[in-house]
Amino acid sequence: MLELIVYGVLLFLLVQMFRLWMADGDLSLMWYERFGQSPAQLAGKVVWITGASSGIGEALAVEMSKVGTKLVLSARRKEELERVKQTCVETGNVAEKDVLVVPLDSVAHDTHAGCVKRVLAHFGKVDVLINTSWRSQRSSFLETTLINERKAQFTVPPQVSLTKAVLPHMMEQGEGQIVVTGSTSGMIAEAGLSAYCGSKFALRGFYGALRAELQSYDIDVLLVCPGPVETNVVQNAMVGDPDKFFNQDPKLDPSHANDVSAPRCARLFMVAMANRLEEVWISRNPWLTYAYLVSYLPFIGNR
């Protein structure tokens, strides 16, 4: 009998290890996807997405439009935002007036208050702000420009300014959700990504502190850390000069050999949002296992 129980426990552990190896998100996210609130909860909310002209932000817009979320789409390229809006209206459950395009540059801080005014004039509220705009990096530290006033890689993370502009409205409203796209590069330091890792590690500290400050308000702060996702992130990565692009085919990048698709990543974002989680990781292996190792067994993970 005892033997049977031991074999049963071993089998259970093996199955769980196999499931973890095949997973594309951390254990809590996989749990909530199966047993938690459905992303359909986001219907009717006003969600503002930065970085909505491409990649993860675009997929978020398209997936949320399917459940009837009202959308504000922001990034620098207006024509790309209009294209994404068109897709949302054609394939989603939203009308033209439910999707507002507000072009902005995340590092043009002085323009953000005006953008918030425009959004409030149109929708009267912002329920969720998703800060997902930004670029990766492919350059050694010595090649990388330290300070470039408007495109500074080592100063305030670009996600912070719009958060500051939207927050007073959420506090007045008495509820809201701030979501920020971090990265597994904000957990695992990698060569050639010193500025990117620095900025993504900083996000965890910054939004953790903000979460603590907002404890007495009904405002959630969610940090989403994707690993490799199939987008234009590698082509659009900065090199030493942030005005230039890396422009390499992501298939040549070994870290992108087992990407999560952008729509799947967006869907898992929505699970985390609907369940008001604080931090989630979205990645396939080996990055998912690395994330667990650096978090729980750093003396192994950091090697």
Ligand X SMILES: NC(=O)c1ccc[n+]([C@@H]2O[C@H](COP(=O)([O-])OP(=O)(O)OC[C@H]3O[C@@H](n4cnc5c(N)ncnc54)[C@H](OP(=O)(O)O)[C@@H]3O)[C@@H](O)[C@H]2O)c1
Which CA distances in Å does 71 have to 119, 160, 196?
A: 10, 20, 28
Sign of CA dihedral 97, 93, 57, 129: positive
Instruction: State the minimum distance, in angstroms, from the CB of residue 206 to ligand X.
Output: 14
Instruction: State the minimum distance, in angstroms, from the CB of residue 245 to ligand X.
Output: 10
Provide the token pair at 270. Answer: 């929505």
Decide if 189 contacts 235 (C-beta within 8 A).
no
The residues that are catalytic are 196
Instruction: State the minimum distance, in angstroms, from the CB of residue 103 to ligand X.
Output: 8
Q: Which amino acid is at 201?
A: F
Q: Which residues on neighbouring strands pair with residue 281, listed in sequence order?
A: 225
Count of C-beta atoms within a 10 Å radius of residue 1: 5
Cα 72 to Cα 122: distance, rounded to the nearest angstrom? 10
Residue number with CB closer to ligand X (132 or 153) = 132
Residue number with CB closer to ligand X (50 or 177) = 50
Which residues bind to ligand X, rule: CB under 6 A?
50-51, 53-57, 75-77, 80, 105-107, 132-136, 181, 183, 226, 228-229, 231-233, 236
- Nearest residue to ligand X by CB is 55
Residue number with CB closer to ligand X (225 or 271) = 225
Residue with tokens 């949320």: 64
Residue number with CB closer to ligand X (38 or 84) = 84
Instruction: State the minimum distance, in angstroms, from the CB of residue 96 to ligand X.
Output: 21
Q: How far is CA 139 from the centre of its chain?
A: 23
Instruction: State the minimum distance, in angstroms, from the CB of residue 172 to ligand X.
Output: 26
Instruction: State the minimum distance, in angstroms, from the CB of residue 62 to ligand X.
Output: 13
Q: Which amino acid is at 20?
A: L
